[in-house]
Every structure is written in structure tokens, then in C-alpha cells.
Structure 1
Amino acid sequence: MRPIVLLFAFSLLSSYDAEGSDIVTPVFVQTGKDLLLDVMAPVHRFDRDVFQWRYNEKENIIRLFSDNTTIIPDPYQGRVEIFQNYSLLLKNVKQADSGHYRAGVQGNKDVSVGKYSVTVQDPVSPVHGNVSVSSSSDSCNLTVTCSTQDSHHINSTFRCDNKTCSQDEGGDRSKVTTSGASLRVYLSNGSSVICNHSNQVSSAEDIIKIERYCFSDSVTKPPGPVVIDDTITVALTVAVVVVIVAIATVVQHGKKGKPSAPCQPSIYSLAEYGNMTLPENQIQEHLEQLRPRYNREYISYLIVKDT
């Protein structure tokens, strides 16, 4: 019974490997890049079995024999490598490399260990968004047209009320181009409109800021003259007045504490009057004439002293 059980288990394993490898895996790769294809099931090789990768079931890419002899046809010379785990590397792929790839072991029976459907795509062209605006007192409407270099375009309208924007149901939100790329227009975070052009290997987009066309009051304006509040004006005025009064008080206090002395010629003139023998009424008359030109207290002092 044991050999029968082992044989039955081996048959299940072989069936599982074969069935598992029959799954076709889609792969997308950009033109000019390298393509790596792995085997999807264990590889069991026996004497005279040949492992091979084939293209579209009719063209051999590489064949590996039991004695490790490897045959690569001319169209793939220098373009392919095979690794110890039987993975295939196809270099610098072109549009013509799109198709079906199959890895298998050919012997008493043909067993698949990997199947792929490969699509080679060029990167998408840039996309540009054109905007037309219609505004009213309570709303702002943007009609955005997204265009690609290969003449594909879609358009959609966006309505903004009180700085809240939404995309109208009408118009085209997306389309598939002839090259299989997707062209979309949509609202992002309520503040931007995105024009997106993409395929499975690349993407391009144009971002349109809604605030550039609506909500003009939120746009930064150049700086204008500084406006000072009335309260600040009053406070500054009071401060200036206080400073002036303080300075005047200090100056006045200094004058009272130290009387101004007359200039030197006046002292000599008074001294001459003091040394002269004149009647008292004449000295008094001369001192009174000097009073408007000199410090009054100092002249009074001289008058009192001389008398």
C-alpha cells in the first residue's frame, strides 16, 4: 500500500505544479527597460529533458539541455540571460516584444512552469489643463479642459460656493485613449483640479490651484502703507508730551539751582563802576541800564552791595 500512496502523492504534486504554472500573469514594462520573468513552479529535469523559454508558443528564446548546453537563437543573442533558478532576463525591450512568454520542461511530456502576457508601453505624453472662469456674486465656476500632445482631451466643470468646491456630473471625467492610456480630470482635497494622463508604466499630471481663479481675497496682496490704530496714536502722543515736560522741568530746575553768570566784559564794566567815585544816584542809573541785558538777581545784588 505504501508505494501506491507515494505514487498517488507524487501524482498530486505533479498535477499541482502543472496546474499552478498554467496561470497566465500579466506584466507591463516600459519601452527600453529590462524585463525579468521568473518561473512560477519548481523545475524537475531528468535525463534528456530540455528546459526552454518560448515566445508566442512558436519561437525559442533559450534552450537549456541536461548537459548544461545552452542555445540562444540569433535574434536574442546579447539580449537574454538565464539564471540558476531558470529566471529569464530580456534586455532593452521594444514594442515588438509584447506577447506571450512560456517557460517549460520538454521531455516525456511537456510541463509548463511559467506563463506571462507581456505588454511593452511607451511613457505617456505630458498633459496640460486649460481653464475658463465664469463668476457671480455667490459662486465661481471653472471649466477645465485636459489635453495631451497626441490630441486627446476631456473637460469638466467645477462649482465653488463659499470656498467649497464640487465637480459637476456633466462632462467627461475620464476616457481611455487609443494607446490604452487613461486620461482623467478630478477634484483633489477641495482645492485643486488634477489633469492626469497615465498608463501601467508611467504617469503625468497638471495641477490647477482653484484659488488662482476663485477666492481672490485669499490671494496674497503686496504690502501697503502701515495703518496705525487711534489708540496707538494717542499713546504715542502722550508719551512724547511727557518726555518734553520732563526735559523742561530738568532744565528749569538747573537754572534755579545755579544762576547764570554774566559774561566777562560785563563784570569788568561793573568793576569799573565800583572803583569810580560817582554819586550814588549815577551808579544806580548805570546799573538800571544794565538790568535788561544781564541777570536781574545778579544786578540787584550789585546794587545792594554798592549801596
Structure 2
Amino acid sequence: MYTNPGTILCYMLIVNYLKFILPSAVTPVFVQKGEDVVLNATIADVREEDSVIWKFNETLNFVRFLPGKEPKVSDDYSGRVEFLEKYSVKLKNLQEADSGVYTVVVSGDTDKQITGYKITVQDPVSPVKLSVDSVSSSSDWCNLTVSCRAQDSHINSTFRCLNHTCSQEGGERSQGTPSAVDLHVYLSTGSIICNHSNQVSWTKDIKIIKHFCPRLAGKTE
């Protein structure tokens, strides 16, 4: 049976393309800069002649468990790897350059990817400062305009208290904050709270409404 070489080539291209767009599942992990992370291998069984290799971004073999030899760590990770049970490792003192995909591969007659982690290293967020910029009031209502500032962004928002019920009018989240960071101002049990957070840290500042609208502060919406 004759098979057109062009068909074979097309098939190989499709397989490689699917391998590229459908990688093995990886677990997202967020780590604060300077902290450690444990990479669990979750390998059930390894033949004596097989090698176990931890890879960084599919190119750097940063840990190699070779048959009959001591584990070998690449120079880039020297002094930063602690060996745990069953081919798991602890990676120490992570920096932003360590963000990427870490996979463990069992290499024998063929290579088989076992586990993957997408590591994102983040700095802790900067402190926030919540300020009440203006207050206007009458016998049955009170308006507060506030600003919440972080290192790279800020929010302006207005809060209105009417007949002991307070609500927020716009400006809940900053549009100038990087996507990985959230700057958020909101009402909670008679207080205005500004929260600055990412996946690894958070900080907040609070103003109590009754300190500025003593006659009207009550429930919040």
C-alpha cells in the first residue's frame, strides 16, 4: 500500500501542532519573592534504568536523577535545591526570573511527562493609604469622597449615607493597577475599606463612617 509522503508529513505536522497547543496540564502556583516552593513529583513507579528529570520551561534540565548516580543540579540552581522523597524537590529563594513552567519527566525508551507546575513569583503589594477628601452633610444625608492610593495606582470613590443607610456610588476598583494586583474600595459594617492585594499578599486601610457622619452612619448597601 502506497502512502503519499505529503500525507505523512501533514500528519506529523498536525501531531506536533497538537502537542504544542495541548500541553499536559500544569498546576498554577503563586509564590512570594524570596520564599520557597515544593515541587511534588507524584511518580508511582520508575524502572531502575530510567532517569527522572525536572525541567524549567522545557529547555533547562535543572535536576537530573540518573540511574545509579547521585542527583545532579544545574549550575543555575546550585545551592537552591533540596531533595525530598520520591523525586520531589524544594526550590528555595525564588526570584522573578524563576517564574515559568516546571515539569518532571521520566526518561527511558520514551519520555513521559508526569507533573507540571506553572510558577508565578510576585512581590508583596505596597501599603495603601485611605483618605477622606471631602465631607458634605445635612440633617438626613451625608456624602464622603475618598481616595485610596497605592504605589502605582489609586481610586477615587463617593459614599452616600441617607437615613442611616450608606451606599457606594462608583469607583470600586482601580483601572490603573496591573492585572495581577487588585486595588479595591468598598463598604463593610459601617466602615470604608481599601484593600490592596495579589495572589501572595494583601494590605488594607480603614475609615469608620461614623467618625465623619456621626448622626447618619448605620447599615450599608
TM over 0.5: yes
Q: Is the 8 A contact 1:181 1:198 kept in 2?
A: yes
TM-score for the superposition, normalised by structure 2: 0.82
Count matched residues. 194
**Are 2:28 and 1:29 aligned?**
no
Worse-superposed segment, 196-205 or 79-88: 79-88
Structure 2 runs not aligned, ≥5 long:
1-22
Q: Partner residue of 1:186?
A: 186
Cα gap change, 1:162/1:69 in structure 2, threshold over 3 Å: closer, same or farther?
same
SS at match of 1:93: coil
Correspondence 1:32-51 to 2 at 5 A: 32-39=34-41, 41-51=42-52
Q: Partner residue of 1:154?
A: 155
**Are 2:135 and 1:104 aligned?**
no
CA RMSD, Structure 1 to Structure 2 (Å): 1.9
**C-alpha distance in 2, partners of 1:43/1:69?**
20
Cα gap change, 1:155/1:217 in structure 2, threshold over 3 Å: closer, same or farther?
closer
Cα gap change, 1:176/1:103 in structure 2, threshold over 3 Å: closer, same or farther?
farther
Cα gap change, 1:135/1:207 in structure 2, threshold over 3 Å: closer, same or farther?
same
Q: Partner residue of 1:204?
A: 203
- Once the two structures are TM-superposed, the CA of residue 180 in structure 1 deviates from its matched residue by 2.1
Cα gap change, 1:137/1:217 in structure 2, threshold over 3 Å: closer, same or farther?
closer
More strand by share: 2
Cα-to-partner distance string for 1:102-131 (whole Å, 9 max, x where unaligned)? 011011111111101100000000011111
Correspondence 1:279-290 to 2 at 5 A: none
Q: Partner residue of 1:134?
A: 136
Correspondence 1:161-176 to 2 at 5 A: 161-168=162-169, 170-175=170-175
Structure 1 residue runs of 4 or more that deviate by more than 2 Å after TM superposition: 41-44, 170-176
Q: Is the 8 A contact 1:53 1:101 kept in 2?
A: yes
**C-alpha distance in 1, partners of 2:27/2:48?**
30
Query: Alignment identity in percent?
Result: 51
- Once the two structures are TM-superposed, the CA of residue 176 in structure 1 deviates from its matched residue by 6.2
Structure 1 runs not aligned, ≥5 long:
1-20, 219-307
Paired letter, 1:127? V
Q: Partner residue of 1:123?
A: 124
- Once the two structures are TM-superposed, the CA of residue 172 in structure 1 deviates from its matched residue by 4.0
